[in-house]
Structure 1
């Protein structure tokens, strides 16, 4: 049974950019098994709605996850979890 990660609430007083906070939260969901390898992430607009951030912030968060090698984006198909955090 996987551990549930707390809901996301950005900390505006944090020195960490909001896109990094979103990426960290998604990475924690991956590590907890909520998003297993092969799982498709919601689209950028859906992520933005889910996290209460702009589409640009969601896009940067996904790029951050790609930089961490946690997800891979396949054009037209979507973004998929590649490995556990």
Structure 2
């Protein structure tokens, strides 16, 4: 995310910050910006990119796993899954 864009996370919005981060990453998957097999940034890098805590980034990644959009391989990273089907929220 480049600094010349508006922030994706709005702490005053009536939504959990981790959900906002997860929704943005999910949008990137659905739009094709993140292709199946693409590696997500690490939790520290995601936290820095979105301006959130590492715990919030970690919870966002867990949400993406729960949605079936990513899978995490220990010591390897988190990757976009082949299936782009996301359950309706």
TM-score category (smaller protein)? 0.7 to 0.9
- TM-score normalized with structure 2 length: 0.83
Divergent runs of 4+, >2 A = 6-9
User: Residue 40 and residue 7 in structure 1: after superposition, are their counterparts in 2 closer, same or farther (change >3 A)?
Assistant: farther
For 1:70 and 1:15, how far apart are their aligned partners in 2? Answer: 24
For 2:68 and 2:52, how far apart are their aligned partners in 1? Answer: 23
Q: Write out per-residue CA displacement over residues 21-63 of structure 1, whole angstroms, 9 at most, x where no aligned residue.
A: 0000000000010101000001000111111111000000000
Structure 1: gaps spanning 5 or more residues: 1-5
1:48 corresponds to: 47
1:11-30 matches, cutoff 5 A: 11-30=10-29
1:34 corresponds to: 33
> In the comparison of the two structures, how many residue pairs are matched?
80
Structure 2: gaps spanning 5 or more residues: none
1:3 corresponds to: none
RMSD of aligned Cα (Å): 1.4
